[in-house]
Amino acid sequence: MSDFLISCDTCVMDGSADCADCVVTHLLSPAPREAVVLNLAEVRAMRLLAEAGMVPTLRHREAT
């Protein structure tokens, strides 16, 4: 199973209003500058939780 790396350092939404409502911001508080590595099953679980309104959605957008 492959991993999915999410880092605020590479996100184009960093510092925006969307950043404040991102699940990664909530996961990393109070250490917001670290990366999160999720496997595919964890990504699917986070998506299901977000769709149910239980956590914010992932707003990470990789800079290209």
- Based on its alpha-carbon atoms, the radius of gyration of the chain, rounded to whole angstroms, reads 11
State how far the Cα of 51 lies from the Cα of 58, in Å rounded to an integer.
Answer: 11
Mean pLDDT confidence for 52-64: 75
Contact 60, 13 (CB under 8 A): yes
Beta bridge partners of 6: 36
Confidence (pTM): 0.48
If pLDDT is split at 50, 70 and 90, which confidence band does 28 have?
A: low
Quick: pLDDT tens for 29-42.
656 566 777 788 88
pLDDT for 29:
66
Tokens of 26: 């909530």
- Report domain extents, the chain: 3-51
